[in-house]
Amino acid sequence: MEAPTRPIRRSYRPTLTGALYVLTSLLLAIGAINGQNNLLFWAFGLAVSGLLVSGVLSGASLMGVRATRRATSRAVVGGDVELHYEVFNHNRLLPCVGVNLTEHPAAGGSPGAGEVARARDFFATVVSIGARRSAVVRARVPALARGRLELDAFEAWSLFPFGVMRKSVRFSTAARVLVRPRPLVIPGDAFDAVLREGLGMVSARHAVAGVRGGEEYFSLREYSQGDASRDIAWKRSAVGESPLVKVYMPRRTSRVWVSVVLPAATPEESERVVSAAAGLVELAAERRIEVGLWAPGCRGDGRDVMLRPAGGPAAYALLLDTLAELVIPASATRHAPPAAPGDRVVEVHAGGQGASGLDARSFRFAGGGA
């Protein structure tokens, strides 16, 4: 944990109970003055003492609090955002009792990410901290939607001992939590079937240009200057009037482009498309396939999102992080990714874009979620 920070703001605010308490104290004072009753004077003095204890003594103990917060850098929709607080009581004599911790998310976050988490759900309580001692407390908050959650200030407050005054101190410790989409479970056979359809295979234009990337025969073409003699089809050339050259299909590689087709008919279906793309990335990670991302118009400024196919834990993590901050465009933009010869392209959609590719509505979340 980092060194505990000093508060940047402190405040005293009366509660509804405190307002009623003050009103009752005033009525006791009026009754004691009018009736000259010693018992009422004692009661009024006791009420004032309680007000001083609640507002002054316990407030002084809270002013000596130092705190810091650490958040997990990654979370998944449907999981939890974990926050760890370390609270240090800097007072020499006074303990801190009943300290509550709440968050104040900073304005901003990734555009269109939706409500990542509700601020009121960030809540933790420390029962007691002795003088010159510290305590560590953890809070778990459900991650509601994908996106970037920016945390800036958090508040330590207490109503101890009578709930008359709400004493609070605010600390500023920046933190960022990136909530990734909840992946759909993509069966391996469905993925293989899409690849067998030939989506994204090299076009005839590349093949006729004479790209020799493998040993799979494609067609014949006329000889042109610079062609290798080993590619000449001698038997067919002897029959014809001019030399003919064999054309080969480029070697099939394990490079796959995941192309997301957004927006879908509804925001929920658009999120399912993103979740299906995350499921494909996890499947590619299991099979150690080089995978890239193509999302036309899905940046905050309206530009295309492109990550070229790559392998390894860092590349897969970058893909999931990019999907977490993907912006759903207002209108559909369809153009092909810059795939190299031999790359495969898997389109992910939510219906209405044809029969090719993967329909995100056909798959379920892990654990049977719809």
Q: What is the pLDDT of residue 112?
A: 38
Question: DSSP labels for 121-186?
Answer: G-EEEEEEE-TT-EEEEEEEEE--SSEEEEEEEEEEEE-TTTSSEEEEEEEEEEEEEEEEPPPB--
Confidence of residue 228 (pLDDT cuts 50, 70, 90): confident
User: Which has more pLDDT, 353 or 346?
Assistant: 346
Type of residue at 64: G
Q: Are 86 and 134 in contact (CB under 8 A)?
A: yes
Q: What is the pLDDT of residue 211?
A: 39
299: number of CA atoms within 13 Å, CB side?
Answer: 10
Q: Does pTM surpass 0.85?
A: no
Phi and psi of 369, rounded to 5°?
-65, 145
Looking at the DSSP bridge assignments, the partners of residue 81 are 141
Peptide bond into 161 cis (omega under 30): yes
State how far the Cα of 136 lies from the Cα of 147, in Å rounded to an integer. Answer: 28
Rounded average pLDDT over 8-30: 87
State how far the Cα of 329 lies from the Cα of 264, in Å rounded to an integer. Answer: 10
Angle between helices 188-196 and 267-287 (to 10 degrees): 90
Q: Are 137 and 96 in contact (CB under 8 A)?
A: no
Tell me how far apart the 2 most distant CA atoms of the chain are, in Å. 131
Burial class (CB in 10 A: 0-12, 13-18, 19+), 86: middle
Q: What is the pLDDT of residue 108?
A: 47
Q: Which domains does the chain have, with CATH numbers?
A: 1-180 (2.60.40.10), 188-201+253-362 (no CATH), 204-249 (no CATH)
DSSP conformation class of 5: B
State how far the Cα of 20 lies from the Cα of 207, in Å rounded to an integer. Answer: 85
Q: What is the pLDDT of residue 235?
A: 84
User: Which has more pLDDT, 304 or 174?
Assistant: 304
- Which range scores top for mean pLDDT: 60-64, 232-236, 272-276, 298-302? 272-276
Q: What is the pLDDT of residue 114?
A: 42
What would the pLDDT profile of 157-171 be if each residue is shown by its tens digit?
998 888 888 889 999
Phi and psi of 203, rounded to 5°?
-80, 170
What would the pLDDT profile of 66-96 be if each residue is shown by its tens digit?
999 998 999 999 899 999 999 999 888 888 8
